[in-house]
Amino acid sequence: MKVYLIGAGPGDPELITVKGKRIIESSGYCIYAGSLVNKDILNYCSDSTKIYDSASMTLDEIIKVMEEAKVKDVDVARVHTGDPSIYGAIQEQMAELDKRNIDYEVVPGVSSFLAAASALKQELTLPGVSQTIIITRIEGRTPVPETEKLEALSKTKATLCIFLSVKEIKRVAGILKPAYGADCKVAIVYKASWKDEKIIISDLANVAEATIQGGINKTAMIVVGDVLSRNFEYSKLYDKHFKHSYREES
């Protein structure tokens, strides 16, 4: 018996890994994060799978179901949105499973910031512009350490993928403006890879208004950075004058 902490991907049920799908198909229990995981993923469950929506459950209740599965000796598919390691609250589950000697494994998933980049047809690391991606959020009920506040991060001018913050877009834009400039492009990607995906392209000066007018106040990725301007150098990787171990100069 094992608990599998599985990344469901960002929404499109085809964006789960082959491994994640196979485990869901063969698990006796499926506990999914109903607030964000696409319910179509549940079609991979067998008819006999016991299904729980963790949105209305406490950690204790979730662990109790896992203990029950251990007694019955059947696997549990614990399905998280995107990749479980990003704002997934999985460490506490694993700590509780350790205490109970319940075996577990993490199966990665496609994070929503990657689905947002795909939706935008955007490379996040453009030569001569930015070679760093910062995954972050503005503080909400969960605090953000002082050294990681948006204002501090903005000094890097790296590509920012801001989770869990679209409700605070006005505050986010205000904090970023001094370092990135009011005309720095911003993309808001609502429900990347879902059928009702929506994209707003704006700049730091206007993004708050555009987002509010677009009616977007949840399930969105904020992408900020000069990469969005696509004013970049071509990479060395495919440059015909550049030799590397896989290709001699042509």
Which residues are near ligand SAH by CB under 6 A?
A: 10-11, 36, 80-83, 86-88, 111-112, 115-116, 163-164, 189, 191-194, 219-221
Q: Which C-beta is closer to ligand SAH: that of 28 or that of 82?
A: 82
Q: Which is nearer to ligand SAH, 3 or 28 (CB)?
A: 3
User: Which is nearest to 84 in space by CA: 3, 193, 14?
Assistant: 3
Q: How far is the CB of 155 from ligand SAH (least distance, A)?
A: 23
| Residue with smaller CB distance to ligand SAH, 70 or 216 | 216
Question: Helix axis angle, 59-72 relative to 91-99, nearest 10°?
Answer: 50
Which position's Cβ is nearest ligand SAH?
82
With beta carbons less than 8 A apart as the criterion, state whether 196 and 178 touch.
no
Beta carbon of residue 132, minimum distance to ligand SAH (angstroms, whole number): 18
Give the Å distances, CA to CA, from 53 to 74, 175, 248.
18, 36, 54
Nearest approach, Cβ of residue 31 and ligand SAH (Å): 15
Cα gap 116→82, rounded to integer Å: 11
CB of 85 to ligand SAH, least distance (A): 7
Please check whether residue 75 is in contact with residue 27, taking contact to mean a CB–CB distance below 8 angstroms: yes
Beta-sheet strand order (sheet of 76-80): 50-53, 29-32, 76-80, 3-7, 104-107
8 vs 23, beta carbon nearer ligand SAH: 8
